[in-house]
Amino acid sequence: MKNSVGATLAELRKEKKLKQKDVADRLANYGINISNKAVHSWEKGLTQPNADQFLALCDVLDVEDVLWQFGKTHKGLYARLNSDGRQKAREYINLLFENERFRDEPAEIIELPRLYRLYDIPVSAGSGNFIEESGYEEIRAPSYVPESVDFALRVTGDSMEPLLQDGQVIWIKTQNILNNGEIGIFTYDSEVYCKELVQVGESALLRSLNAKYKDIEIHEDFGFKVIGKVVS
């Protein structure tokens, strides 16, 4: 082995421009609740992840070939391919899946990971967070995420607790209409919000689930728009 597990984990994390806390937050989506200190300990070789944690880490960090990535052996499927070659290989695999001649029995077909954009600027679940243009990275959707989603955002703040936690990745279906009581992503007065849409008589409100935050009354003059519905 030419590289330690910890050093490889740190290298992969930095390539994806993630902080140790980001890795810990994403592991929570797999039911693995650890702190960023645990990630730090793994990367420094002070401790090692168990089997479940390691498999989840590989998913979070988009590791497709464990032998090559962690052992630098030439036994893996993509071992001798560069990044362009690996992308071409994925494209060919997709083409083979579409041809019944090359498919195994339907029950045996391995689904390729679903990738979605996670935008860099976190959506505010508190006071609002202005977004004009945002970079993004592609992340894999966990199995529980519906196929109807279009993109992901990260929550900041506590105004949607206990349902949505600070730092949690939320999955959004793009749509411009929401029903009363549905939680969505909105832009209003040049801010972006994650709130519950509430209709009270003739008025529409953006409401936090945390009672310590006041409702935001929507006025047409301030440019209100529904971006999408939070589906997971």
Residue type, 110: I
Residue environment code for 5-27, b if the CB has 16+ CB neighbours within 10 A, otherwise e? bbebbbebbeeeebebebbbbbb
225 and 147 assigned to the same domain: yes
Tell me whether residue 87 is in a domain.
no
Do 61 and 157 lie in one domain? The reply is no
Residue type, 214: K
Q: Between 119 and 132, name the one with better pLDDT.
A: 119
Structural domain including 190 reads: 115-230
Q: Which of 19, 36, 71 is the last residue of a domain?
A: 71
Number of domains making up the chain: 2
Same domain, 141 and 42: no
Give the HSE-up count for residue 210: Cα atoms under 13 Å, Cβ half-sphere.
16
Q: Tell me if the pTM is above 0.85.
A: no
pLDDT by residue (tens digit) across 24-48? 999 988 888 888 898 999 999 888 8
- Give domain status of residue 138, yes or no: yes
Asked if residue 92 belongs to a domain, the reply is no
218 and 153 share a domain? yes
- pLDDT, one tens digit per residue, over 80-114 is 777 677 777 777 777 777 777 776 655 454 566 78
